[in-house]
Amino acid sequence: MTTFDINWVRSQFPALAVKVNGFPAAFFDGPGGTQVPQRVIEAISGYLAASNANQHGAFATSRRTDEVLAAAHAAMADLLGCDAAETVFGANMTSLTFTLSRALGRELQPGDEIVVTRLDHDANVSPWTALEERGCVIRWVDIHPEDCTLDMEDLRRQVTAHTRVVAVGYSSNAVGTINDIEEVVRLAHAVGAIAYIDAVHYAPHGPIDVRKLDCDFLVCSPFKFFGPHSGVLYGKREHLQRLRPYKVRPAVDRIPGRWETGTQNHEAMAGVAAAVNYLADLGRRHTPEAQGQRAAILAAYDAIRAYEQGLLAQLVPALLEIPGLTFYGIKEPARFGERVPTVAVRIAGRSPRELAAYLGERGIFTWDGNYYALNLSERLGVEPRGGMLRIGLVHYNTAEEVDRLLAALRALAPRA
Ligand SMILES: Cc1ncc(COP(=O)(O)O)c(C=O)c1O
């Protein structure tokens, strides 16, 4: 195993050279969308230059398009640990989740229950609460506000004999908590319910194995893991075959095509395969003996996780020493294995917007507000006060960038 080659990583991402007011840009906005390696840009423009067509035609560019789309499905199957036919592309996670909730809704009855959580992004909440129109009952799982973890006892209470769907996030896009998904799936299956997992925020940070999780569905968004704007849904083959999507008649009825409504974003799909390739290359650099694409991807996540944990150990204790700072989420280094490096804070006397604007002027990109984790922001009581400042680290960030961020935040702290 070699040490993490941050210079090679950064050399892959042209956007990291951006400057703002003379400052090099420090991208801590990854949870809203990450930067992309050069090869992703080339795959997108290369597709448009040489293969641009619709699918299933009897001519060269259409045949090349069929190959590009098949490669994108295969790449996502390698990333998620499933078959290519179990991967469905779409505009983004939100659209795919509405597609699925509508299709599932066709077979739900009044009184059927759906479990959602207060930790989740609204894209794994509103598509389910929409089914109240059909008489479904929504049950809410609470959090432990002191460390922003999911209240698993409450989850056990909310899952009943009437539960048909349990919708839970793999990791919080606001405070970074990783949930015990294997246990969530086990609880859902114990009552015959479907487990729908939102892995959008987990995918840039940790390995996903849908077979091991045994989840029924899992969604992610390539633009959060170094690819272009698009969404991908994994569904167990039997569900994708059995459930009835809303579709047009001439479109194929095979999986996964029956779920991919209309013409897809072909150039983005070309870019997704390149993003997965980037991860595999990173893994092979770290673990040259990794055999095959899936093993290389898993090696990449080993390397990413170890490196990110180092940045987290630098960031969190230093944040906690800033006067007037409130930290939301898991803060004990011994428990960092239960979180990804996405942290949310407030500083007394400053709105999160003010903090983000000050940092932004200095080339440090963070988010303020609720980032659509609306129920969490309300539960923590910060929604009426502008939410929280979110600092989202990924593996192309550096210790120097974290130092710059800390120095800038110290300058904003209230004087004693
Ligand atoms: C955890 C989580 N779930 C869902 C979404 C929605 O994803 P998309 O923008 O692809 O619809 C996001 C985006 O911020 C997210 O962070």
Q: What is the pLDDT along the chain (416 residues), one digit of tens a residue?
A: 568 999 999 999 999 999 999 999 999 999 999 999 999 999 999 999 999 999 999 999 999 999 999 999 999 999 999 999 999 999 999 999 999 999 999 999 999 999 999 999 999 999 999 999 999 999 999 999 999 999 999 999 999 999 999 999 999 999 999 999 999 999 999 999 999 999 999 999 999 999 999 999 999 999 999 999 999 999 999 999 999 999 999 999 999 999 999 999 999 999 999 999 999 999 999 999 999 999 999 999 999 999 999 999 999 999 999 999 999 999 999 999 999 999 999 999 999 999 999 999 999 999 999 999 999 999 999 999 999 999 999 999 999 999 999 999 999 999 86
Nearest-CA residue for atom 14 of ligand 1:
32
Ligand 1 mean position to 72 CA, how many Å?
Answer: 20
Ligand 1 mean position to 373 CA, how many Å?
Answer: 9
In three-state secondary structure terms, 293 is: helix
Q: How far apart are CA 101 and CA 127, in angstroms?
A: 6
Nearest-CA residue for atom 4 of ligand 1:
123
pLDDT for 415 equals: 82
pLDDT for 95 equals: 98
pLDDT for 2 equals: 63
Sort 70 into a burial class: Cβ within 10 Å, 0-12 / 13-18 / 19+. middle
Strands 149-150 and 143-144: antiparallel
- Go through 348-373 and write b for each residue having 16 or more CB atoms within 10 A of its CB, e for each that does not: eebebeebbebbbebbbbbbbbbbbb
pLDDT for 3 equals: 85
Give residues (CB < 6 A) around ligand 1.
31, 92-94, 121, 123-124, 169, 173, 198, 200-201, 221, 231, 372
pLDDT for 363 equals: 98
Index of the ligand 1 atom closest to the CA of residue 231: 10
pLDDT for 177 equals: 98
For 278, the token pair is 């980037």
Index of the ligand 1 atom closest to the CA of residue 31: 16
Nearest-CA residue for atom 12 of ligand 1:
200
Q: Is 262 left (phi over 0), alpha (psi -120 to 50) or beta?
A: left
Asked if residues 224 and 34 have their Cβ atoms less than 8 Å apart, the reply is yes
Ligand 1 mean position to 123 CA, how many Å?
Answer: 6
pLDDT for 319 equals: 98
In three-state secondary structure terms, 14 is: helix
